[in-house]
Structure 1
Amino acid sequence: MDTPRWKQRPEGSNWGDFGPDDQIGRMNLLTPQTRLRAFREVQEGRAFCLSLPLDYPGGNTLFQHRREPQFSYDKRGDGHNYNYRLSQVCPCFNDVVSDDAVLMFLQYSTQWDGLGHVGQMFDANGDGLPEKVYYNGYRGGLEVIGPDDAKSGLGAKAIGIERMATAGVQGRGVMVDLERRYGRERALVGYDELMAALEGVTVLPGDFLCLYTGFADLVLEMNKQPDGDVLARSCAVLDGRDERLLQWITDSGIVAICADNFAVEAYPATPGKGEHYPGLPLHAHCLFKLGLHLGELWYFAELAEWLREHGRSTFLLTAPPLRLPGAVGSPVTPVATV
């Protein structure tokens, strides 16, 4: 399928399958029917918060180019608009008000990766010249504009995270309890290992695949002083080089993968084939080829324990990102209801 943006699409991609101008990818598979199926998972009405405190992991050991939130307070009169007595506006008022602001890297803690987060150098025009391209052929410098491209009009003019927000991110979560199988030992999980972990569990189109590895628990225990060496050799990660795993992701119809680790897949990955290959192969397959969102650094410990005790693996998941136009990622406070 030719479009004004591309003449050829990547092998194994779904570009154009949801329309030439699609900007939400596999979130299109969230339908009224899949949501109703998810609602039937609620039996007790108990809710679990699936977010870390948003000032975790702490520092920038895990993310060299991301830093923890910084609060600030606007001036008001001789002081600040925090614990501010409104009697200074009118003597008859007895209210006290507080406002605050925060400078936050949108993918520092529990987060969604948007479709503008990872693209590839790809020859979408078929002219032999690779360009910076994202899901469904949207171009770096044209629709995804950074400060090195222009001085104004910055951000994702297409495939921004606000598109995901308006898609209604609510459906059935399926827990894959890798922590139960591997503990906190480093384990590279490919197709065979994932299928073993999913034994007895049915994954349906429109589901959210949720990976509990124990990584976020370890981050919490480090109390905002993460040990990068320890974390790098701890807990299970997906093997993004496993072609059978990638094909299963394609065939499964899942709408997202949500993990409690910081990249979902092993990073750095093992070397790929050929002269050029993705350094983040699972990101390339999911975000770039399929429009399948990735969630990182989610907190699953309490939910996983409850599911173990009750012999369950599925639940209602509600996890919209911020409706922030132009962003390529977003913090999220997901909620699981059982």
Structure 2
Amino acid sequence: MTARDFRALYERLRRESARSVVDRSRGALCHVTPERVVAAVAEVRLGRTVSLAAPIETVPGPDDPEPAVHVMTGPDPDALGADGLHFATDRFAMNVHGDADSHLDALCHVVLDGELYGGVPASRVTPDGARALSVASAADGIVGRGVLLDIPRLRGVPWLEPGDQVTSDDLTAAEAAQGVRVGPGDLLFVRVGHRLRRTELGPWNAATARAGLHPAAAGFLAERKVAVLGGDGNNDTAPSTVQGISFPVHVLAIHAMGIPLMDYLQFEDLVPVCAETGRWSFLCAVAPLRLPGATGSPVNPIAVL
């Protein structure tokens, strides 16, 4: 996609979003109305819960040179066998926007031409935290109807190879094959098989090579009024197919349409349940940490089937 074509797509999606979003501070989360949350509860049939998050990495790897740090701070080893009351304590630190751990991108994460989503000045992001569009907009959680579209299943392969792209036609074909349709306010999850490939072949430098959505597939998100997009990769293909824009899907989803993204989830536990039941929609609950001013958060989305 040329830079000119990308800009035209960006401007069109930005205009469409401005017409459909009623609260710019929440972006596409406005599509998750109370009525749609109530309707999503009807998706529960088995009473079974499945995590869509991967275990947090604490060992360096080619896709995670700065892994999370988990340190046990207590009790003192000498006190473990002593009488009396003691507590086990620990401390955790994480590079939220890495290429291995499951996380949510807030609307303040993407800066383009000196602006955040909705024309908010980028200066609102300060060294002390974001003063607008932070992860605090989802402080009460995101609950709604989740839909999983399995693109490797559609193509008859275990995973998409790095550099491959998911098109709008792939998304609509997956809907037809799985007997499901993405609708307004849905939390859309697109599987490219990144996690399975990583498990089978080992980690690689995902910053330079990964499967993801073609930028034009953002039109599908706008048409269906998707509230959240989640993937088992970064959602963006690498290398980028757009001249001068490294993360075009991030720009289109977050900056143009106000759609929060969830990157590096895992669907390998969910796919067998959906395949067994023949149902690819479910109630989904996402609870980011309450981190005032943060550009994102580690996250553990839960599918309830």
TM-score range, shorter chain: 0.7 to 0.9
Match of 2:118 in 1: 136
- 1:177 CA drift (Å): 1.0
Q: 1:12 to 1:60 in 2, by over 3 A?
A: same
CA distance in 1 between counterparts of 2:160 and 2:11 reads 35
Match of 2:63 in 1: 62
Query: Which of residues 174, 196, 215 in structure 1 aligns to 2:194?
Result: 215
CA distance in 2 between counterparts of 1:30 and 1:316 reads 12
Say if 2:259 is the partner of 1:292. yes
Q: 1:318 to 1:28 in 2, by over 3 A?
A: same
Unaligned ranges ≥5, structure 2: 1-9
Match of 2:144 in 1: 171
Moved more, 179-188 or 286-295: 179-188
Match of 2:221 in 1: 249
Match of 2:214 in 1: 239
Q: Which amino acid aligns with 2:185?
A: G
- 1:265 CA drift (Å): 2.0
Say if 2:272 is the partner of 1:305. yes
Report if aligned partners of 1:39, 1:316 keep a CA contact under 8 Å in 2.
Answer: yes
Q: Which amino acid aligns with 2:94?
A: M
Say if 2:228 is the partner of 1:228. no
Q: Which amino acid aligns with 1:181?
A: L
Q: Which amino acid aligns with 1:217?
A: L
For the aligned residues, what is the CA RMSD?
2.7
Counting matched residue pairs gives 286
Q: 1:271 to 1:160 in 2, by over 3 A?
A: closer
- 1:299 CA drift (Å): 1.1
Match of 2:93 in 1: 103
CA distance in 2 between counterparts of 1:331 and 1:258 reads 13
CA distance in 1 between counterparts of 2:242 and 2:44 reads 43
Q: 1:39 to 1:160 in 2, by over 3 A?
A: same
Report if aligned partners of 1:16, 1:22 keep a CA contact under 8 Å in 2.
Answer: no
Match of 1:194 in 2: 171
Match of 1:46 in 2: 48
- 1:237 CA drift (Å): 2.0
- 1:83 CA drift (Å): 5.7
Match of 2:6 in 1: none
Q: 1:84 to 1:204 in 2, by over 3 A?
A: farther
CA distance in 1 between counterparts of 2:76 and 2:94 reads 20
1:68-83 alignment, distance < 5 Å:
68-74=67-73, 80-82=74-76
Query: Secondary structure in 1 aligned to 2:196?
Result: helix
Match of 1:151 in 2: none
CA distance in 2 between counterparts of 1:110 and 1:173 reads 17
Query: Secondary structure in 2 aligned to 1:326?
Result: coil
- 1:38 CA drift (Å): 1.0
Say if 2:244 is the partner of 1:268. no
Report the TM-score, using the length of structure 1 for normalisation: 0.77
Report if aligned partners of 2:209, 2:237 keep a CA contact under 8 Å in 1.
Answer: no
CA distance in 2 between counterparts of 1:294 and 1:136 reads 16
Q: 1:60 to 1:206 in 2, by over 3 A?
A: same
Unaligned ranges ≥5, structure 1: 1-8, 75-79, 122-131, 147-153
Q: Which amino acid aligns with 1:178?
A: I
Report if aligned partners of 2:107, 2:135 keep a CA contact under 8 Å in 1.
Answer: yes
Query: Secondary structure in 2 aligned to 1:170?
Result: strand
Deviation per residue, 1:297-324 (Å, 9 max, x gap): 1111121111111111101111121110
Report if aligned partners of 2:168, 2:219 keep a CA contact under 8 Å in 1.
Answer: no
- 1:86 CA drift (Å): 10
Structure of higher CA gyration radius: 1
Whichever structure has more helix as a proportion of its residues is: 2
Report if aligned partners of 1:115, 1:134 keep a CA contact under 8 Å in 2.
Answer: yes
Q: Which amino acid aligns with 1:157?
A: R
CA distance in 1 between counterparts of 2:79 and 2:106 reads 41
Report if aligned partners of 2:107, 2:117 keep a CA contact under 8 Å in 1.
Answer: yes
- 1:81 CA drift (Å): 4.1
Q: Which amino acid aligns with 2:186?
A: D
Q: Which amino acid aligns with 2:204?
A: D
Q: 1:185 to 1:18 in 2, by over 3 A?
A: closer
- 1:162 CA drift (Å): 1.6
Deviation per residue, 1:245-287 (Å, 9 max, x gap): 22221121110111111x1121222134xxxx53322111110
Query: Which of residues 114, 131, 154 in structure 2 aligns to 1:181?
Result: 154
Report if aligned partners of 1:85, 1:97 keep a CA contact under 8 Å in 2.
Answer: no
Report if aligned partners of 1:15, 1:137 keep a CA contact under 8 Å in 2.
Answer: no
Match of 1:129 in 2: none
Q: 1:203 to 1:16 in 2, by over 3 A?
A: closer
Match of 1:145 in 2: 126
